[in-house]
A = this chain, B = another copy of it.
Amino acid sequence: MRRTTIHDVARAAGVSVATVSKAINGRDGVAAATLAHVLSVVDELGYESSLVATSMRRHRTNVIGVLVAEFEPFALQLLSGVSTALQGTRYDVLAYAGSISAGEHRGWERRSLSRLGGTLIDGAIIVTPTSTPPETSVPIVAIDPHAGPDGPATVSVINLDGARAATEHLVSLGHRRIAHLRGRTDLESAQQREKGYRSALEDAGIRFDPTLVADGGYRTADSTAGAHALLELPEPPTAVFAANDLSAIEMIRVAAEHGLRVPDDLSVIGFDDIPNAAAHTPQLTTVRQPLPEMGAAAVRVLLTMLDGGEYEHVRMPAELVVRESTAPPRA
């Protein structure tokens, strides 16, 4: 079954494809009678122009791309905000997970951008890119940007303050041996969170112990080893600040494997406040990022850029949310 093309419409209406194109796009130079007739045929045949073909000729599609490495909860929440913010505008959203078939994780955003940009999408919102995107054919804004030299537009939370708040919360509960399961170290967010952790320790007069920092990479699977390592330390921590909720949840799972209960035997705090954080047992204490709002902010910046406006760096506050996974250390 072949799709209906503009040629089919033209043939059925007894006019040329050029006329059909004009009729559909409201260009003038079409007689009222012809217009009505063509549109009725379009309707009858259920014709819709191919996004691909249109995109190729006209260099504008009215679709915004959200480029992600994979559809994990963080990206999904952002997407939800982006989608809501785009209601009532002339733009549709298209979300693309470009690293799935590629296998290769690094550089996925460049690949996606090259494949979609300039055609198909008018602008892109890139989530957690693995590098600072190069000058591209379309405007882009990065959410949770790479740590390299500042690319144009970014939206992120004030990670340093968020991490400080998390660590201070643990300190205030009486913990002294506080570990950090860190994030994807190529991202600015992970670097800032580690920095916030260290600075809060310092302020509390706690000596920084490098053996208490393990890699989590922001992903469940990448956190397992680090979580084990932390708990198998000769002198294990009584609390851990995980760089995001996914690794916090994995931390808790691994702790259970070691016979440790949270928060009784170990306090765990995360970062992000994905929907799963509050749904988890125990409910996760975390630092909330206003994900939908960040998505909306990215849309705002991007639309401004598409209208020829200036780019911007948006920073939003992160907020400590105390729930059940943190408690004072055992006596």
Contacts and interface: CB of A to CB of B under 8 A. Distances in A.
A62 interface: yes
Contacts of A3: 114, 117-119, 136-137
Interface stretch (A87-95, A192-200, A222-230, A253-261): A87-95
A106 interface: no
Interface string A114-130: 11111110000000000
Interface string A255-274: 00000000000000000001
Copies in the complex: 2
Q: Which of A70, A89, A100 has its CB near the most chain B CB atoms (within 10 A)?
A: A100
A314 interface: no
A109 to B, nearest CB: 11
B1 A135 contact: yes
A76 B70 CA distance: 12
Given A3-B118, A94-B95, A118-B3, A52 B47 contact: no
Contact of A134 (B46, B72, B96): B46
Interface stretch (A28-36, A171-179, A275-283): A275-283
A114 B79 contact: no
Given A51-B116, A71-B79, A80-B71, A95 B95 contact: yes
A137 B48 CA distance: 13
A111 interface: yes
A98 to B, nearest CB: 6
26 contacts: A1-B135, A1-B137, A2-B118, A3-B119, A4-B114, A46-B114, A48-B110, A49-B115, A50-B114, A50-B118, A50-B119, A51-B115, A51-B116, A52-B120, A53-B119, A56-B56, A71-B80, A71-B83, A73-B80, A73-B275, A86-B101, A92-B96, A92-B101, A94-B97, A274-B275, A275-B275
